[in-house]
């Protein structure tokens, strides 16, 4: 059995990657909102911080009542307790990836977690 999983994602409104990739330490979703559309609810998390990567378009996030403008190339980290809601701009769609990981769980990263074979 391979030590990797590869899938292709369509341009659906939302694709959750947990089941598709067999994720065990994170959740990721691919999100596409058409111009003028928004996520119809405010939410927060008990344990997971979220990292948003804006792939294309523009829009906004309202985080604890503060409006944060978003555009392609932006990265955004949101603490678990922050109330958040996302929407596309009135005149432009937005596509983004959301990655959820348990806050304060990162112990090693990049070179510290790598084993270099020679």
Instruction: Could you please state the CATH topology (level 3) that the domain comprising 15-103 is classified under.
Output: Jelly Rolls (2.60.120)
pLDDT at 1: 61
Between CA 48 and CA 28 the distance in angstroms is: 12
Phi and psi angles of residue 59, each rounded to the nearest 5 degrees, phi first: 180, -150
pLDDT at 60: 98
Q: Show the low-confidence residues of the chain (pLDDT under 50).
A: none
pTM of the model: 0.91
Residue found by looking up tokens 């899938």 in the block: 7
């Amino acid at each position: 059995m391979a030590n990797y999983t590869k899938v292709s994602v369509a341009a659906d409104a939302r694709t959750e990657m947990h089941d598709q990739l067999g994720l065990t330490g994170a959740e990721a979703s691919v999100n596409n909102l058409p111009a003028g559309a928004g996520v119809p609810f405010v939410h927060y998390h008990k344990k997971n911080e979220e990292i948003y990567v804006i792939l294309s378009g523009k829009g906004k996030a309202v985080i604890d009542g503060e409006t944060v403008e978003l555009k392609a190339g932006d990265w955004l980290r949101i603490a678990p307790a922050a109330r958040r809601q996302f929407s596309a701009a009135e005149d432009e769609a937005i596509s983004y990836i959301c990655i959820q990981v348990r806050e304060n769980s990162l112990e090693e990263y990049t070179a510290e977690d790598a084993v270099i074979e020679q």
